[in-house]
Amino acid sequence: MKSLKLAILASAALALGAAASDRAVAQDKVSVGVFPLSSSLPYFVALERGFFKEQNIEPEMTKLMGGPPNVAAMMTNQIEVSAVLVTLEGLNANVKKPGVAMYIALNSQTKIFKMEQFVVRNGFKAETIADLKGARLMSAPGPANLNTAKAILAKNGLKEGDYTIDQLDMSQHINAMTAGTFDGGYTLEPNASMMIKAGVARSLEAGVISKYILGDETADAYAAGCAMTSDFIQKRPEVAKRFAAAWGKAIDFINQNPDQARQYLAKNTFTPDNVVDMVSMLGYVMAGDMSPKQIGDLQKLADFGHSIGWSPKSSTSPKSCRNSEMPVAGAQPAAKTAVPGKVQDAARRTAPHVTIRGLSKRFSDATIYDNFDFDIPRGKLISVFGPNGCGKSTLINMIAGLVAADSGEILFDGRPLNHIKFGYVFQNYREAMFPWLRAFENIAYPLKAMGVPKAERIVRVERIVANLNVKIDLRLYPYQMSGGQQQLISIMRALVVDPEILFLDEPFSALDYEMTLFMREQLQRVFVETGTTTVLVSHDLEEAVYLSDRILLLSRHPARAVEFVHYDAARPRTDRTLSEAEFISTKAHCLEVFQREVRKA
């Protein structure tokens, strides 16, 4: 079997073995990302029952909705601990940044310990998962959840095309089922219990990962757990040790007093009071207490991640978390088996997403670009900033194929433009809208052009509207909407195709200040959740720095790349970001470069 080995990070095994013998005088603050599902219960038990306080730990909680935001926050050192991180998300994260997610505890789910499960709305005729042929399905967000759902459907004889399935924010699951937008889906607790309690849906089958992915109904499906960053463990080992001790005590309490422990769900998670007693407990275990059988079950899940291409092949090292190993702090390693082959996609992950070579463009007597070279990195939000008329919009228009270059080459992963899917938000929203189409039809237009069936177009438009939490009457024609509303429609139209690359040409220029702030936050959330390579043209330097990972500073034409400035502040960025030293210094440096180029005129 091609196996993805479990690994011990030596320093983690030493640091997390027991509670610290020397208590800190003052409480140590620990930044924790919390996805407030029922599986985050150990965090709230440790908090409410004073287990953190006993260890002189003061957790600082940030709510992060799903695996991708937790991974992004760990990779950027915004959080030190994720209270509940999908194991396949953690596995994949360690490809991008080795050792970023070290699991100290795992959460088992089975048909008894219910978490992920398939539900179906009342009135839809289905008794088994195989009966979902032709159904409109939703999935818990994140690639790991979506791919797992598809794999389970495949195990029941359903191939892609036999159904439609869309990721949907957890907060929208119940509303979407109530509205009849979906026939069923792959959801999590407490949402399943809430749907059942409300009479909206019924559980079709739980324990699906154990049964269909691991091939054993009694197997422990360790689909998520508590993870620490290696930076946290290495830089503050005593604090990490005490945090783990508090977490272990919370798990002991839950396992010994499940009925009492579940009461902490009500005010801390999505779980309403009236379903607290319905929500199943999970099989919580500290990594160091896992039996060989449990480690084997975890290994099977890791192997599944490899089989669906979610994580690449890898060699292993018992002293470090490299590539696609399942990083478990304190667990005993499974028997070593050689893994043939090279790390898949490793080169692709580090290679530029867009390669521009020898690009030239003239308008009348003006040379805008002359033999321009540039690489756009993968999975980054890039702002293009420079003097007025230097060719910022022209650059992204040439990359997107809207304006022909006079000469040069633009490749996407070595492929021409017609092999990729991209979204574009135009600066002139009035000319970009179809005046004879209603708002809904404007958003859905690219899907229609792609040949997407009408039923699926409706689902995907409703999903993007719900995810962005935009309140616009989609029956309106463009002339009935404000300029800001029209631009919001344009932004949703660009996102509805799930683009590989997103181009934005001053997307917020038509919005009032309040709506601009709102959409900046929405853009950040979309970027963190999807990791889509994004290129933004902006005339607002503060906006360019605030939103971006990289800022491309252009000279006057013929334009050249004066500097490619890095800004790696943690996300999500807030109003407080604007007063932080790193932001202020980055903005000041960009302004200095900009003014120097302007003075050259």
Q: Please write the tens of the pLDDT for every residue from 367-410.
A: 999 999 998 988 899 999 999 889 999 999 999 888 889 999 99
Q: Using CA atoms of 87, 88, 91, 95 in order, give the dihedral in degrees to the nearest 10.
A: -150
Is the pLDDT assigned to residue 441 strictly greater than 50? yes
For residue range 271-303, what is the model confidence (pLDDT) as tens digits? 777 777 777 778 899 988 888 888 888 888 888
Cα 91 from Cα 298, distance rounded (Å): 12
For residue range 140-193, what is the model confidence (pLDDT) as tens digits? 877 778 888 998 999 999 998 899 998 877 777 888 888 788 899 999 888 888
pLDDT for res 601 = 62
369 compared with 304, residue with greater pLDDT = 369
Whole-number average pLDDT of the chain: 82
What residues contact 443, with CB distance under 8 A and at least 6 apart?
461, 464, 465, 474, 489, 492, 493, 496
For residue range 310-333, what is the model confidence (pLDDT) as tens digits? 554 432 322 222 233 445 554 443
What's the CA angle centered on 499, arms 497 and 503, to 5 degrees? 115
- Over range 405-416, report the average pLDDT: 86
pLDDT for res 21 = 40
pLDDT for res 24 = 44
Is the pLDDT assigned to residue 11 strictly greater than 70? no
507 compared with 59, residue with greater pLDDT = 59
Of 88-92, 245-249, 384-388, least confident by mean pLDDT is: 88-92
219 compared with 72, residue with greater pLDDT = 219
Is the pLDDT assigned to residue 345 strictly greater than 50? no
- Over range 35-56, report the average pLDDT: 91
Cα 497 from Cα 383, distance rounded (Å): 22
Cα 311 from Cα 307, distance rounded (Å): 8
Instruction: For 165, list phi and psi in degrees, rounded to 5.
Output: -145, 135
Is the pLDDT assigned to residue 334 strictly greater than 70? no
Q: In the chain, what is the straight-line distance between the N-terminal and C-terminal CA atoms, in Å?
A: 65
Of 70-84, 267-281, 299-313, 451-465, least confident by mean pLDDT is: 299-313
pLDDT for res 258 = 85
Tell me the percentage of the chain whose pLDDT exceeds 70: 88
From start to end of 69-220, where are the E strands? 81-86, 102-109, 117-121, 136-139, 164-167, 184-187, 201-206
pLDDT for res 23 = 46
Is the pLDDT assigned to residue 265 strictly greater than 60? yes
pLDDT for res 241 = 93
Cα 393 from Cα 565, distance rounded (Å): 19
Is the pLDDT assigned to residue 119 strictly greater than 90? yes
Instruction: For 485, list phi and psi in degrees, rounded to 5.
Output: -65, -40
- Over range 524-546, report the average pLDDT: 88
Question: Residue 157 is encoded by which pair of tokens?
Answer: 């004889």
335 compared with 264, residue with greater pLDDT = 264
239 compared with 322, residue with greater pLDDT = 239
Cα 505 from Cα 426, distance rounded (Å): 5
- Over range 110-124, report the average pLDDT: 87
* Confidence at 97, pLDDT banded by 50, 70, 90: confident
Residue 53 CB burial class (10 angstroms; 0-12, 13-18, ≥19): middle
Tell me the percentage of the chain whose pLDDT exceeds 90: 35
Is the pLDDT assigned to residue 9 strictly greater than 70? no
Considering 67-81, 118-132, 278-292, 500-514, the range whose residues carry the highest mean pLDDT is 118-132
What residues contact 565, with CB distance under 8 A and at least 6 apart?
550, 551, 553, 586, 589, 590
Is the pLDDT assigned to residue 38 strictly greater than 50? yes
Cα 276 from Cα 290, distance rounded (Å): 28
pLDDT for res 59 = 94
304 compared with 537, residue with greater pLDDT = 537
Is the pLDDT assigned to residue 206 strictly greater than 60? yes
Q: Go through the domains of the chain in sequence order and give each one's CATH number.
A: 6-110+220-346 (3.40.190.10), 117-206 (3.40.190.10), 431-499 (no CATH)
